[in-house]
């Protein structure tokens, strides 16, 4: 989608638009401050969403996603926790988040462009943890979908099925892998993962190798047209 307003992209160019008055409360919710304004507050003016505990806090927003957010003695403060970052800001200053993002871009931080959960035509994957020489993902493949026939030069993969049934191709071999079963994919070996079942397929993937970035992939066949 182009980064332009709907006024310029559509409204100014159409003769088939009508405008009528409407009485309602409206907010673009374009900042954490705006979100605080529309959320329900407790007796001390705190807006709490997720697994949050506030002690002696007032007029603050605590927003939790994956972990317990515990705050003590905060006033006019916004705390937002996601699975890859925690943002703490003074209320009224959250428009400066764009400056923070600019700083992260200059530092080439991957958090600017990569989320821990990435969606693909076949499903999604979530990075659970990573370190030197390893990365662990939770992969979900929708019923009837499959990943491309692919190969990696620098990493091996170990798949453990935790839900559903996987149809796995490794080299010339094709096998069915069920819950609590696992399979090993050596580096530089053609492989494919498919969900032939009726429920989502979920696997834990453990990658090991010297280079684990997403561009270490060669696709040989892909039903979505993504061929190297």
Q: What are the pLDDT digits (tens) for 154-186? A: 999 999 999 999 999 999 999 999 999 999 999
The helix/strand/coil state of 110 is helix
Between 162 and 95, the more confident residue is: 162
Cα–Cα distance measured from residue 40 to residue 81, given in angstroms and rounded to the nearest whole number: 19
- pLDDT at position 135: 97
- pLDDT at position 228: 61
- pLDDT at position 92: 92
- Judge whether 149 and 169 are in contact, CB under 8 Å: yes
Nearest partner of 81 among 59, 51, 126, judged by Cα: 51
Cα–Cα distance measured from residue 15 to residue 56, given in angstroms and rounded to the nearest whole number: 56
Q: What is the mean pLDDT of residues 32-45?
A: 94
Is pLDDT at 1 greater than 80 in this prediction?
Answer: no
- How does the average pLDDT of the chain come out, rounded? 93
- pLDDT at position 61: 97
- pLDDT at position 66: 87
3-state SS of 46-81? CEEECCEEEECCECCEEECCCCCEEEECCECEEEEE
H helix or E strand, kind and range, residue 128: strand 123-131
Pairing type for strands 134-141 and 182-185 reads: unpaired
Place of tokens 């996603």: 65
Other C-beta atoms closer than 10 Å to the C-beta of 12 total: 10
The model's pTM: 0.72
- pLDDT-derived band of residue 215, with 50, 70 and 90 as boundaries? very high
Q: What is the mean pLDDT of residues 48-77?
A: 96
- Judge whether 175 and 138 are in contact, CB under 8 Å: no
- pLDDT-derived band of residue 19, with 50, 70 and 90 as boundaries? confident
- pLDDT at position 112: 85
The helix/strand/coil state of 156 is strand
Report the half-sphere exposure of 54 (CA within 13 A, side-chain side): 26
Report CA Rg, the chain.
23
- pLDDT at position 20: 92
Q: Which stretches within the chain are classed as H helix?
A: 6-9, 32-38, 97-106
């Amino acid at each position: 989608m182009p980064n332009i307003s709907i006024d310029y992209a559509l409204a100014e160019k159409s003769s088939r638009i009508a405008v009528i008055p409407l009485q309602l409360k409206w907010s673009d919710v374009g900042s954490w401050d705006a979100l605080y304004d529309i959320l329900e507050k407790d007796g001390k003016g705190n807006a709490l969403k997720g697994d949050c505990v506030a002690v002696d806090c007032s007029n603050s927003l605590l927003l939790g996603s994956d972990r317990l957010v515990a705050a003590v003695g905060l006033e006019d403060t916004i705390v937002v926790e996601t699975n890859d970052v925690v943002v703490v800001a003074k209320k009224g200053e959250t428009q400066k988040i764009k400056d923070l993002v600019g700083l992260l871009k200059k530092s080439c931080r991957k958090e600017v462009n990569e989320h821990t959960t990435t969606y693909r035509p076949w499903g999604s994957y979530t990075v659970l943890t990573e370190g030197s020489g390893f990365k662990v993902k939770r992969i979900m493949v929708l019923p009837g979908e499959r990943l491309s026939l692919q190969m990696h030069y620098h990493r091996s993969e170990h798949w453990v099925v935790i839900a559903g049934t996987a149809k796995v191709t490794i080299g010339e071999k094709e096998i069915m892998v069920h819950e609590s079963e696992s399979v090993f994919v050596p580096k530089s070996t053609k492989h494919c993962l498919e969900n032939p079942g009726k429920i989502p397929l979920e696997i834990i993937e453990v990658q090991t190798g010297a280079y684990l970035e997403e561009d270490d992939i060669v696709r040989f066949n892909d039903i979505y047209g993504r061929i190297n």
